[in-house]
Amino acid sequence: METIKREEVERYLERGRDFIDDALIERLLEENKQPDARAVREIIARALEIKTLEPAQTAALLQVQDDALWEEIFQAAAKIKTKVYDNRVVTFAPLYAANKCVNNCSYCGFRRENPAIQRRVLDFDAIREETRVLAGKLGHKRLIFVCGEHPESGADYIAESMRTIYSVKEKVRNGRGEIRRVNVNAAPMSVGDLIKIKDAGIGTFQVFQETYHHATYARVHPAGTVKSDFGWRLYALHRAMEAGIDDVAIGALFGLYDWKFEVMGMLFHARDLEKRFGIGPHTVSMPRIEPAANTPFCDHAPHRVSDRDFKRLIAVLRLSIPYAGMIITCRERPGFIRDVIPMCTQRDASSRIGVGAYTGQQQEQQQDIQQFILGDTRSLDEVIRELASLGYITSFCTAGYRCGRTGKNIMTLLRTGKEGCFCKLNAILTFQEWLEDFASRETREIGERIIAQEIAQVTERVPAYFTPELLEKMLEFHRRIKSGERDLCF
């Protein structure tokens, strides 16, 4: 398999082994059964200092049995989210560009041997058209570009697609629609290929390990496929760092194996990135397996995670990797998202996950072109209105990547809570832009109320490291955005 560059995995192994020691994880979970409440409260206190937890500490949280103690964990998780990210929620949408795939993952509608899927690789004109809808009609500023693993959708294709997306400028109500940040969820690549997508202006590179359990990984990714190589995938983000992409995202597909094991795997992943590069994952994702066309595996997922356990695992991840953003997706139903949003930092909205689905004439959900079935198909406007009614400001800020607040810089800002403040100002400005250009009347009304509250907060309780000049500049930018200028941020 020439895709895999063996030496780009082997240089990370220690005594021939990767950093997921299955037996150690099982042992930690066993040893930490029935943790006492005092120990759990000490762990909560450490997480509140925005310190990555030790594996034994995460194991202890995962083994809590007492419902009242779980309530304390949920409250701490929400507190950490607010401490690091304030009341902001970032939104984005996926752009599915290609569903041809050389792999045969048991759980995925796009798997090679699934005849029920119409295969398509969007050409650059079609990518442009999809982007015009996303940026010009729906008002998104961030995308996650998604594709299967196939020679037709390799690094050159992804890089050119990204350039195409960034080139789209749509005239909208009072300003312009454009995508300012393209994140990518694609197959693991070599360092050489990663440099190509870095040069095209990638935001975050996201690769989910699916499962950290070696034997389960081998079962769901048939031998002989590229994806069956556990190590090639496990070190995909290490290679990204080597290539200079210092903004990376981890995830596990929940339902393949025991959720407690997967949370431990994600923690070990974050810790290994921190150890080697001084930077952990920017975001953590926790997709749950959803039904997919002609994919019986999904209807009988061996370790389906209940809502109760899913909420618990989100909280434990929040505490274990406290600086990381956490993404909840439209795979989930609106009611459940409402329940966990206090612990999360990002969500998608108005998502379509069929290739060409934004421009196509498809119904809302069309099984034969999409990877799986969504739980929340509401529009971005509806989602923003709901978030605002719950007290959250939707941020369209993309400044982090464009002004160099990534990697080590951002880690320090996040751990000290200062990123939250820069981002607060940018959230106000970018949300105002969105209200001007895209909001319905109802959403605008409630959105303006949130903005007024936010401005009052920063001007009345000026944080120590905000200079008066900075605040004055923010107010000036805000006035200028209201009178039609765009893309003003810190």
Closest separation in Å from C-beta 108 to ligand SAM: 4
Helices and strands, number each (H, E), in the chain: 21, 11
Site track 196-215 with ligand SAM (rule: CB under 6 A), x = hit: -----------xx-x-----
Residue 63's identity, in one-letter code, is: Q
Residue selected from 371, 395, 426, 443 as contacting ligand SAM according to rule CB under 6 A: 371
Q: Which of 101, 158, 270, 481 forms a contact with ligand SF4 (CB under 6 A)?
A: 101
Question: In whole angstroms, how far apart are CA 5 and each of 129, 258, 364?
Answer: 35, 30, 40
Please identify which residue in 81, 88, 111, 198 interacts with ligand SF4, judged by CB under 6 A: 111
Closer CB to ligand SAM, residue 206 or residue 345? 206
- Note whether 148 binds ligand SF4 by CB under 6 A: yes
| Residue 268 near which of ligand SF4, ligand SAM, none (CB within 5-8 Å, type-dependent) | none
Q: What angle do CA 422, 424, 428 make, to 5 degrees?
A: 120
Question: Does the footprint of ligand SAM cover residue 257 (CB under 6 A)?
Answer: no
Contacts of 312 (CB under 8 A, 6+ apart): 62, 70, 73
Can you read off the two tokens belonging to residue 365? 């959900």
- Which of ligand SAM, ligand SF4, none sits in contact with 292, Cβ below 5 to 8 A by type? ligand SAM
Does 157 participate in binding ligand SF4 (rule CB under 6 A)? no
Least Cα distance to 95 among 359, 299, 326 occurs for: 359
Tokens of 117: 């899927």
Looking at the Cβ atoms of 86 and 258, the one nearer to ligand SAM is 258
Query: What is the pairing mode between strands 181-185 and 202-206?
Result: parallel
Which residues are CB-contacts of 148 (< 8 A; sequence separation ≥ 6)? 98, 99, 100, 101, 102, 103, 110, 187
- Which residues in the 310-369 window bind ligand SF4 by CB under 6 A? none
Residue 372 lies near ligand SAM (rule: CB under 6 A): yes
Report yes or no: 313 and 305 within 8 Å, Cβ to Cβ: yes
Q: Up-side HSE of residue 304: CA atoms within 13 Å toward CB? A: 9
- The pairing of beta strand 346-348 with beta strand 88-98: parallel
In terms of DSSP bridges, do strands 176-177 and 170-171 run parallel, antiparallel, or are they unpaired?
A: antiparallel
- Which residue lies nearer to ligand SAM by CB, 130 or 454? 130
C-alpha angle with apex 430: 424 to 433, nearest 5 degrees? 145
Q: Pick from 32, 58, 87, 103 the residue near ligand SF4 by CB under 6 A.
A: 103
Q: Does 220 bind ligand SAM (CB under 6 A)?
A: no
Q: Which of 25, 84, 89, 108 binds ligand SAM (CB under 6 A)?
A: 108
Q: Does 108 bind ligand SF4 (CB under 6 A)?
A: yes
- Binding residues for ligand SAM, rule: CB under 6 A, are 107-108, 110, 146, 148-149, 185-187, 207-208, 210, 253, 287, 289-290, 292, 298, 331, 371-372
- Binding residues for ligand SF4, rule: CB under 6 A, are 101, 103, 105, 108, 110-111, 148-149, 227
